[in-house]
Chain A
Amino acid sequence: MSETYLATRPAPPRRWGRLAGGKTFPVAAVVFVLIVVWYLGAIGLNSGRVIDGYDADDDMRNKWTTSDLIADTLSMNRPVLPAPHQVLVELDKSVLETAPTSNRSLLYHAWITLSAAMVGFAMGTVLGIVLAVGIVHVRTLERALMPWVIASQTIPILAIAPMIIVVLGAIGFVGLVPKAIISAYLCFFPVTIGMVKGLTSPELLQLDLIRTYSATPSQVFWKLRWPASMPFLFPSLKIAVALAVVGAIVGELPTGASAGLGARLLAGSYYGQTVQIWSALVLASLVAGLSVAAVGWAERLTLRRMGGRT
């Protein structure tokens, strides 16, 4: 009966209509609007200080024009809101024009953060999967542990990041490990929930069938439950990897770490270097976005091999 519910839109005209009907053009349009709003916001928010500057300057007072205002608000040294091109210039300076090994390169800092995030992501994923397997197979664990897994998320781990850093530092763990632990703590929850859903997703029918083949519990797991959980694992991994990046960044904030994107954010905020803050922010977003995209790519690969529809 599916044909009867085919799309009832009349066939869109070629090219232009298809473009508008798809996803790329609307996204691009919204991004364009956002950038315009950003520019307008920069002009608006910075104008206060610029006008104060004009008033203080005998040459400029009452003689400035709108184009002066626009030009000056968009090129301030320490703006309230930097303009997009300022951020791009700063990014270009600290990413492309600085050697990646120097500690003034944002790429270097991004790598510090990313490595901690990836280690944490790996640990959290393994922990999440192990917990999920336990919860699915041992009834007592499910009843006793699940509520705590859910409750664990109400403990604002990001908030206690400073304590974890300090405490682990006291017993000799510095640098990557404490950040990875924070990331892992953030990661394991979505992975656990997703895997529990996935491992319990096979229908009763399929479970009964495989039992008629006298399958051992381990065969039931590897041949049925594990493959069935893949479509549930990957969305959780996407959430987890984004959280891992957040965890690594926040792990760098409290104790004034000297390396990493979070450290750059902190340094920028201490010294009032707004453009620096924003470029670190943009790069952090890029790191998070690329990580999620990487997991998405792994997902498409896996699901295609499993014959799923992408």
Chain B
Amino acid sequence: MIEVRHITKTYGKKQNIFVALDNVSFTIPDGASVAILGKSGSGKSTLMHAMSGLDRPEQGEVVVNGQNILKLSSKQIDNFRAHQMGFVFQSFFVQANETCAENVSLPLEIAGVNERERDRKIEAALEAVELIDKKKSRARDLSGGQKQRLAIARAIVNDPKILFADEPTGNLDTVTGAVIENLLFDYNKKKGITLIIVTHDSELAAKCDMRIHIKDGKIEHIEQRKENA
């Protein structure tokens, strides 16, 4: 469970102060798929950064499974991200010169996973995104959709509890975008992890269990989809 309590984040000082997040609170149940919706500059990315511990709001708490991650030391929060969270970005951020396996290996190296286990996990992750045959290929030779699948493999390789996806389909055409969406939701359902998608695409958002609308740093409204068959 992720509880966001009264977080406020500002940029700049005095006259030039800009409130990116203004007293934001909500709760996400475990295993939910959540869309954070808003226009650019609305504060949705800042919210994701705060929830993942990359950014530290001045006020408020982010409680993940009973622990306020904003109170953790930088070492603990790095460790927390390495072991509990996965990230998918709009621009993929795959290392073009590295092979697929090397790309996927990075989070495992950061988390200090030993080598034998690493190989097994890399194969499983590449298998999950159907890129196992590209294991030794350089990432630069992949298409856009393949790159994003590779990024998903990298995000899920260390079995995170929470998966953040920042505009995961923003740079893709509708068909490949749909493949990526399916991958993310399937993984969310199958593994029961929490999926948090930051987007301004309402179609994508519609597929989520929960939609948090952000405007000017404030929560406009939260929609919950009732459990139905």
Check if A and B associate. no
- A-to-B contact residues, CB < 8 Å: none
